[in-house]
Amino acid sequence: MDEILGGCPLLDADLIESAADRLWPHHEGDIDRLFAFLGLRHKRTRDLPSGVEGLTLGGLVLVRDRVDESRVRVTGVHECGHVVLDQEHPHHTHPDVWCFSIAALAPRVLLASMGDLVTIEGLARRAQIPLWVAIARLRMGAIKKIVMVAA
């Protein structure tokens, strides 16, 4: 979580949010549609180096095969974030990619559709993301005015 919210993002939070928002109509949470829209192929594999969850090689995204489908989603969208930010904003940091991928999984429009009170568990269920990603999303500065977090 430190790398995500405690690192050194270079890009403005609104710029990251806008990039994630532009993608939402093309996938609406369906990761296969996101890969297709970006012209990427993807494959789940157990043959990645130790400590590596995902890797992009040209137009192929490799994601470590896991039982936890929500973790596979996060890794896949994170790898897509590298591709999108490399194209749109070549000078970015890894925390920028994390912020983008979390925003792409739970964009502002999804949060707004959840009403005035958004819980960590509710967001995790709705966006099909792990609890730690929901926590990170609700802590991101650009959305504090949109949601309230219930304990």
**pLDDT band at residue 141, thresholds of 50, 70 and 90?**
low
Give the pLDDT band of residue 145 (cuts 50, 70, 90): very low
pLDDT of residue 3: 57
> Is residue 63 within 8 Å of residue 42, measured between CB atoms?
yes
pTM: 0.88
Question: Is the Cβ–Cβ distance between 105 and 127 less than 8 Å?
Answer: yes
Q: For residue range 117-139, list pLDDT tens digits in order.
A: 788 999 999 999 999 999 999 88
pLDDT for residue 117: 79
**What number is the average pLDDT over the span 56-71?**
92
| C-alpha to C-alpha distances, 54 to 16, 99, 142, nearest whole angstrom | 21, 16, 26
Residue 149, pLDDT > 50, answer no
- Between CA 101 and CA 78 the distance in angstroms is 5
Percent of the chain residues topping a pLDDT of 90: 68
Work out the average pLDDT over 49-77: 92
Q: Residue type for 79, please?
A: E
